[in-house]
Structure 1
């Protein structure tokens, strides 16, 4: 990740408007110096990362030092750019002075930036000395600033218009029919169906397939889906359900208290046959909490149902109503291969693959290694789809760790992450961890955030938005994000979600490299920071509607 940190910094530096020497004085020259020095660091970092991967622990400290100084350099440079933007936004007499002269406050800020750059230069010098002692060599500049989008992202549009749910439901045809049948059976009293399995086994995918089926939608008068997760607020879940079941948009919902929302839901559902899906439930008292002020979900003896997904069997059995518990089994060997092959060797591409039978032989062995977990099969298949050479497939098979499922997933994710085409895309992927658990992310919002953070490079013949959209498509094609919505007009990905397991991995990876730290306002910080060393963080300087904001640490 440290290589990504330096790369992202250089991408930002190359676009900064440092030409206004009347404002920046000698600072602009110092910025250019930092840019050149960071380019040199990138060359050293390649060799350092290679040695670290081979198990040389003495390199770890050097890599972390390079990461820290990259962030510090970025912070100093962005402070200078922020100062420019702030002065350009000022209006009236003081704005004219700020644009064409140097105010005392500017001189103070410029001095502070200059002092900080001098300190960073000394740290860079020390790093070069350490690199020489450790016999780290400069492998050369890898053209960090020049990203050739068309060469890196050869997107195949065969799988592009398939949602991840459409692919991963492979192997669950029998379970789909059984659960759908339970939902629409003749039993009149309110009852629940619980799908139980470990993380990555396909619970949510199966539930969504049932929920969106014509058979289920036609059977129920109204349906609603909420994702509960480990941390939730009852009133937020109830408001979400209410907004889905009202016939027209009602802005007054946001102003209601918990009792009012529950009563409104009760009144709307009392005369209707309804289905409510509670996805990713962790606590045994969730159903009780949802009905604590009033019975929001009435039993009108009309065949209404609750569909629940959970990793815990005790949660599945403690819903206070008749409950059918379906323990979702892992995929067998043949179904595992079917899912894996759809991702790694899609039918539309097989005719163009030389010696496809040899890939099949290797692929079946790799699919078996995934132990029937759909998430592992999809991500590994997406990775190998991008690496269609026999040596790569053979190497993975030979290097496969004899580990438990959790560790297996970690290894698959790490391999897929490192295989992303450039440091910009790796930064974009880690940044998704900033969104809440199980959050449905609007791609338009995500792209704006990526661009604001400097994660999207300027490339010839492509607008920033076009590049960002290609990045989203690349992550989807590798099954690193789940597509939950597309534009009917263009086929573009409009909404995505990231699996809990992937998000947890991103949080930990980002925390280790001080790229981003997620703080949960209800339980405190996720992933504690080590306090025995000093860690540098990225800072983000932002302005909104002409009003200057304080610099904020990316947490």
Structure 2
């Protein structure tokens, strides 16, 4: 659909109608008419989208529809929330008291809906003067132009291959392997990463030409024509004659498939399918046209989508093309910008700006090639190069250029965006709000997307977060988003967006008036902004101006050291769904007016120096996520009034330690999945069985806490899977009882002085943090028969030697030893750790060496050494290093968001 924002808002309007039917029944017909009006408007957006570049009036026309669609959703949701407040869980007298207010609200929404319908009618009437037609579905002219720019051919091979040499040789070796069966070799990577360039290099290797007596190349693209693909391959396999061309034009699809099958049947062929976007495109060719008859034939496939490559051959991992490193980027840039050969130098006065241009390309070969080619035709002056650097985004995105190649760089990235379904376009644009080079927590992103309502239509209650995570996976699979960190069980923990794709998201968002980034102190905040990311605060406290924008999301980044209090007039933000003040230092507590932001679903106050939450937060009945944790810069305790039990929609409550003057009531929160930072006493005062969705629970204990009673109290909470016990003072009494928690599979102990006498019987994951241990814990821990994950982090005192016996850890797959300050030696007996897949040793300064027995563990796939001394690294056993498939040695990553 042409405009993902409008498409999504229309869908959500329908969702609201279903969800709030009890409260909307008196105006249901009016709401349905409004939705139908929006659906009709959407029919004309194809033509408008095609012609937005031609006429600013058409862009304004689309913007008017978008604003009306947003206003429709806001009107419905605000009204429904009012009526819900008037009628839900109220007695008869209270309902009678509020009845006049309900009648007034019905009258108000009726007027607003009619006003919106009049707006839409005027917008619809005005389209005629712009000549906008209903084109229906199909590829727009703009889309066809993008596809034309991406047509590839193996003839024009790029000689400047930097950073791909090793992979090219590996691909050639893979294609030449002795195997009679037809095999598929795939290259995947983001747009512009060099997949086609690499495939050309391999296709033209002398050994490849000698081995395969029959070769063909076809660019498939996202709008493939099956018959045209078949004709293209057949033409490359036969002498071109007038008779052949006429015959191919007359042939039907089945005839073409049969002809290609016969042409290839007795050949040792290599066919390159470049730029495959859909599984269906592969199936059309592979199942009917490519014979597998024992001739050692090969198919080389390139795609931006990992799932396409895996579908083509589920038994082999595709070759994943990463972005270039810093030095390879610089060498390629020099070749393209200066026209020199390998290892050519750069004029000293240009090196600093040249390296910054290369860095801005983010390791993307196409971007380096385009910018370098542009500079090659310019004067070699610092002024010219500075001008390109200062206008970097414009040079890569504009449709016309003096160099003629600029449009290709924009096209290759824009095609990936154009191929996204509406919901993924929405998600991708949202990522543009985050600052450049951000490492984004997937948990945080999921909570935001769910709060925004992106997942409402596709999934039932409690499955929204699963759908949101799947969308992160889809964006990563399509190489629109990069994985920054994975968990041990191969889930995406954090992600990042390539700088050029982020610029694409920002450009598209600006085109579609989707969001605004306040990046400098001089930026003016638009009165029409719906999504606003503040990357820099102005000196003027009244930075929203005289008119407050109708914001849905307000996010603050990198404003930690702002010297003035962040001033927000919350009663002006009644449409706000997301407020993220993460690490934005506030020098006063949250104003009580926060309770007037009734639609708020996500409130992040992490690291804000706020020490007390006002009672009015209890009015936020739609709130799903509340984060009041500290950071390393701030204190950890937040005082709350006894209102948590009112937050009936709450799913995730993150805190380090909540203080309340009375026992904190949390009973009845049936949607609550995560609860951290609650004190032992408050848990014991609540019937935890009423928290029917609770999966993760973090409890603060002290010397008065009776762990046995706590475990008995939690033993019937069947949904509970993860338990964290954090000690802030003293040693808890009666530490036994954990064996009563049969449902718990993950246990985290922080600030513990000794190991507990028992553990949950079905424990599979154990984390020990800030532990004070005198004896080696391994003899106890290795007896936990189902343990697959063990992490020991920061032991201030402890054993100098650890011994893992041959009888221990039969199921352990992941082991991390982190900052064990007195650990000198690890002994692993022969036969121990039979299932170990990953060993991570981090910041253990005194450790002499790794145990030699590790090289006999056949399952060990990954060895990670983080922040280890140089002497330790240089003394690694060569046989051990060669026996582990993946050895990773690196320093700690920078702080994550």
TM-score, length-scaled by structure 2: 0.32
Higher relative contact order (CA 8 A, sep 6+): 1
Bigger-Rg structure (1/2): 2
Which is strand-richer, 1 or 2? 2
Which is helix-richer, 1 or 2? 1
